[in-house]
Structure 1
Amino acid sequence: MKVAVLGAGAIGAYVGAALHRAGVEVSLIARGPHLEAIRTSGVRVLSPRGDFTAHPHATDDPREVGPVDHVFLGLKANGYASAGPMIEPLLHEATSIIAAQNGIPWWYFHGLKGPYEGYRIESVDPGGAVTAALPLDRAIGCVVYAATEIKEPGVIRHLEGTRFSIGEPTGTPTGRCAEFSDAAVAGGLKCPVEPDLRRDIWIKLMGNIAFNPISALSRATMAGICRHHGARELVRAMMRETVEVARNVGCDPGISIERRLRGAEKAGEHRTSTLQDLEKGKPMELDVLLAAVVELADLTGAEVPTLRAIHAVSDLLNENLVRTG
């Protein structure tokens, strides 16, 4: 089995190192000092589960890799639309694209029976640009329950969690999901194949949709947000509205808001990925988190005043970031 990791940052390099440890032929596609460090010394993973070093092939040119069986996307979702030229050299007729993203994916209504089957979410897939780059029939969803960071080029600090839930948009079990899952498990990860990955998507999104933009607006950690009474109530309101939208499109997350809050609180003084992007001057990944849910609220008639307000101010912050960056 051949796997290419496109966007071998903190999560991508961690997954690639685990797969390589399992004997998979892995190629990491990265750039800059991180790429040079991997070429020289491999990927060093520092983890409470045990440190290890892997030496997968690493390059900045997908043409050097050629067609593979699975492409694992470690890119931010706001980079998907422009990923076509990097993806194309990696594809053969049956290559899957496993997208490890936060928020609502571009394939969400693909193969989903019901009144919205085939609906394209404009805020996630503007003009169909993401679908053009990442064909729907190649998509395998992936919800990440792991926290990692790049400690220094070539060195990944694994903080917690090893679960990467995957699943077909149709919910049908397939050999390609089973193949990737088996390899990931052999490399030390948890990789269940879920018959209803959309439920996982909404459970994780309940936290991301609230904590990520609030952290960027306030510069607070997850624990700091939870400690502040007003902010905690804001999170509750955003979660309630998110659950209503999920139910309107046919998915009940099946988890209480209080339980989801407690789970987020356990993350402690964690700075969300959105806050980290802001601090680095990078565009924030808000469309798939907030804009998509507001769009689905409009589609289904849900009332989401809190989500609209937070989306407006965080989007303004993002526009200013892009303009001055």
Structure 2
Amino acid sequence: MRYIIIGAGAVGGTIGGRLFASGHDVVLVARGGHYEALRDGGLRLATPGGAFTLPIPAADRPEAVELRPDDVLVLAVKTQDSSALLDAWAGRPVTGGGTAAETLPLVCAQNAVENERLALRRFRRVYGMCVWLPATHLEPGRIAASGTPMTGILHLGRYPSGTGRTVEEISADLEKSAFLAPVVADVMRWKYAKLLANLGNALEAICGPIQEGSEALGLHRRAMAEGEAVLDAAGIAYTSQEEQTRVRGDLIRLVPVDGVERGGGSSWQSLARSTGSIESDHLNGEIVLLGRLHGVATPVNETLQRVANAFARERRAPGSMPVSDLLDLVGS
């Protein structure tokens, strides 16, 4: 198999880098200065085990990649960018006949739960990946991943349910590349649990680190409680914290990477890079949507969604709002 990583940021770059380092064919797809750095100098991947420069082929658009029948497309962008990229890749011809949408598997290596539905409108073979992978996009061409001894945990399954030979082969490749990659028939149950954890992403981006005993932690717990109430009302299953901890065990710990100061999660990084967009519509906004459909109030998530979008739109610095100010907004 050859892996086409569509969106070679923190998550996509780490997955692609680890696969390439273990001997697999990989193409990284990126934009702008990040693409230019990858093209000219390779991917620089910093890990607790050392820093590596990996000469991975890079492309900046679908037309630059000649697709093969053994390709696996791995979508690793934020949800707000998914539709445009799915459209751009779906009609690309594959050597030997057919289009990408008709013949190639597509893996959604993303947070949120909307991506698989978006993909299935366009692609016949869609797979979900629940991503637990602490990584940071530091600068163009340079990424840090702080998990050890495993780099991350990537639950895999066919969407909407099931497994099969393709997902087994992808899992085997990932597990040779410093990942734990369990194959599960109910991958969305894992992704909905990850959605609950990701409800704190906007809070961290707005107010900074969520620390034990802080007002921010209390607000995070309120956001998750709203999420659980909404999923229960909608009849949507999700894995328990105990089940997640049991799988993770001691296989992955966060360790400082030499010369790298880890900032925050994916939403924090979006604000730090002044991208102008953030994923809150598809994280907190998913809970707001389900709450409105099923008659469950979600004031914390509504506020987090609204304020995070304002931060992104106005290009405000991450962590610049006191928690007390956010609590006042929730109360109002």
Report SS of the residue matched to 1:89: coil
1:195-230 Cα offsets, whole Å, 9 max, x none, are 222222122222211x21212322x1233xx442x2
Name the Cα RMSD after superposition: 2.8
1:301 aligns with 2:295: yes
Report SS of the residue matched to 1:144: strand
1:186 deviation in Å? 1.6
1:311 aligns with 2:286: no
CA distance in 1, matches of 2:44, 2:273: 23
Query: 1:1-325 counterparts in 2 under 5 A?
Result: 1-68=1-68, 69-83=71-85, 84-89=87-92, 91=100, 93-107=102-116, 130-131=118-119, 135=122, 137-160=124-147, 161-209=151-199, 211-218=200-207, 220-223=208-211, 226-228=212-214, 230-247=215-232, 248-255=234-241, 270-282=263-275, 283-321=277-315
1:251 deviation in Å? 0.6
Structure 1 stretches of 5 or more lacking a match?
109-129
Structure 2 stretches of 5 or more lacking a match?
94-99, 257-261, 317-332
1:92 deviation in Å? 6.1
User: Is contact 2:119-2:126 (8 Å) kept?
Assistant: no
User: Is contact 1:222-1:270 (8 Å) kept?
Assistant: no
User: TM-score, normalised to structure 1's length?
Assistant: 0.78
CA distance in 1, matches of 2:16, 2:269: 22
CA distance in 2, matches of 1:167, 1:319: 35
User: Is contact 2:158-2:167 (8 Å) kept?
Assistant: yes
CA distance in 1, matches of 2:17, 2:184: 23
Mark the CA change 1:312 to 1:14 in structure 2 (over 3 Å): closer, same or farther: closer
CA distance in 2, matches of 1:267, 1:20: 23
Report SS of the residue matched to 1:80: helix
1:272 deviation in Å? 2.4
User: TM-score, normalised to structure 2's length?
Assistant: 0.77
Structure 1 residue identity aligned to 2:279 = E
Report SS of the residue matched to 2:107: strand
Structure 1 residue identity aligned to 2:4 = A
User: Is contact 2:210-2:216 (8 Å) kept?
Assistant: no
CA distance in 2, matches of 1:145, 1:6: 18
User: Is contact 2:82-2:115 (8 Å) kept?
Assistant: no
CA distance in 1, matches of 2:110, 2:300: 24
Mark the CA change 1:199 to 1:310 in structure 2 (over 3 Å): closer, same or farther: same
CA distance in 2, matches of 1:131, 1:186: 27
What is the match of residue 324 of structure 2? Answer: none
What is the match of residue 116 of structure 1? Answer: none
Report SS of the residue matched to 2:106: strand
Mark the CA change 1:32 to 1:106 in structure 2 (over 3 Å): closer, same or farther: closer
User: Is contact 1:216-1:275 (8 Å) kept?
Assistant: yes
Mark the CA change 1:190 to 1:50 in structure 2 (over 3 Å): closer, same or farther: farther
1:131 deviation in Å? 4.8
Structure 1 residue identity aligned to 2:158 = E
CA distance in 2, matches of 1:188, 1:27: 19
Mark the CA change 1:148 to 1:312 in structure 2 (over 3 Å): closer, same or farther: closer
Identity %: 25
